[in-house]
Amino acid sequence: MTDPPVHPKSRGLGRAILLIGGALALALAAAAAVLPGTARAATSVCSNQTGSSNGYFYSFYTAGSGSVCMTLGSGSNYSTSWSGVSDFVAGTGWNPGSAQTVTYSGSFNPSGDAYLSLYGWTTNPLVEYYITDDWSGFNPSSNSGATFKGTVNSDGGTYDIYEDQRVNEPSIEGTATFEQYWAVRASPRVGGTITTSNFFNAWAADGMPLGTFNYQILATEAFNGGSGSSNITVSSGGSSTGNTVTVTNPGSQSGTVGTAASVQIHATDSGGAALSYSATGLPAGLSINSSTGLISGTPTAAGTSTVTVTATDSTGASGSTMFTWTIASSGGGGGSGGSCSVAYTTTSQWTGGFVAQVVIGNTGSSTINGWTLKFTFPGDQQITSDFNGTASQSGENATLTNASYNGTIAPGGSTTVGFQGTWTNSDAAPSSFTLNGTTCT
């Protein structure tokens, strides 16, 4: 995959709440606190602003060269026309947004790089999200910096799920490090229903939680000198077409040649229909039970595989997830200890909250079968939720234990866990860890 000439995600961040002049991050933070103005029907907006029109929130931002304006029509309707524009985003919706069903209709006629997306932000954690129904020029799925997490079927289409981390970029809370979530429709469309809860649940199942909703708009955006027009009307309400299948990502797996392995895949169907499972890319010696979703067997060859598991219901609706599985060569007996390494990273931080990732590595010669990681927070952090493991805490002392699917760490292998938490005075990272009673480097 290749990046576009101008990174579209950086654009999205740069005009998150409308920036004016060079006061980038300051304008973002200030705009979130300013009460919006009120626009009348058939009002033309050609300068950076947010406001309300006929009871709907609107946002307009442009930067660089070219010309673009948004016309606010009756109800939630808006239209845009642009030519040679470096960067703009405009749309109508709600502030705050919610896990609502959104319906929209209209036209989208771009020439060059452009997106048509349900776009918004949350706080605690700070997340920028896109549900992209149509695009022109640069496909957002082609960003080389994003991580593919799987797919979700919703509203008659399949969407690819991606996650990207933005480091020290402008946001609605000023310059910050935060996650960016994407759902990109494989077969583009203009108009229909977006059942946001399906996407929010799929993101959560892939370890991508949302926080408290900020604004949410059905946005037209274009960049890199394109031209075009759009005319969009949006509303809440409506119903989805068909069932939605959500497959939970089990996280990266590891094992050893000659040692039995098993992972249970979990999936849900919005209509309660029975599911069947299939998988591609499994390590040699492993197979999946089509009825239960249990992957099991004894690996016969070393190497790293990219595994895709798909769950399909009786209506044909399906969802999938992707993860890696590393098989190490056999080289010693099993055990519950051994040398270890730990890398603790604060992947996202905001006032009063944080998300941390912990990578546990087996640097010894024996397989670790089941693990308990212990450490002490130097600050006043409190863990509130976890993923890929179970977290507990007593005062400043924290304990992480393996999930059912990642308790085995082969020599040279690793597993990743994480958690979300709160802090008041200090979010300093811990520096000393023990795994099964052994001090790690």
Contacts of 152 (CB under 8 A, 6+ apart): 158, 159, 161, 183, 198, 199, 202, 244, 245, 246, 319
Do the beta carbons of residue 210 and residue 200 sit within 8 Å?
A: yes
Contacts of 149 (CB under 8 A, 6+ apart): 161, 162, 163, 206, 207, 208, 249, 321, 322
* DSSP bridge pairs for 379: none
Judged by DSSP in three states, 108 sits in: strand
In this structure, the dihedral spanned by the alpha carbons of residues 30, 32, 34 and 37, taken in order and rounded to 10 degrees, is 130
What is the secondary structure of 274-314 as a DSSP string?
-EEEEEESPPTTEEE-TTT-EEEE---S-EEEEEEEEEEET
CA–CA separation, 127 and 172 (whole Å): 10
Q: How many helices (H) and strands (E) would you count in the chain?
A: 3, 34
Of the candidates 23, 25, 19, 51, the one whose C-alpha atom is nearest the C-alpha of residue 38 is: 51
Do the beta carbons of residue 101 and residue 235 sit within 8 Å?
A: no
Among residues 169, 173, 179, 221, which one is catalytic? Answer: 221
Among residues 128, 169, 173, 179, which one is catalytic? Answer: 128
What sign does the dihedral 118-119-122-125 (CA atoms) show? Answer: positive
CA–CA separation, 413 and 394 (whole Å): 29
Do the beta carbons of residue 283 and residue 299 sit within 8 Å?
A: yes
Judged by DSSP in three states, 1 sits in: coil
Of the candidates 436, 372, 369, 376, the one whose C-alpha atom is nearest the C-alpha of residue 400 is: 372
Of the candidates 212, 189, 21, the one whose C-alpha atom is nearest the C-alpha of residue 120 is: 212
Judged by DSSP in three states, 359 sits in: strand
Concerning whether 128 is annotated as a catalytic residue, the answer is yes
Concerning whether 173 is annotated as a catalytic residue, the answer is no
Active-site amino acid positions = 128, 221
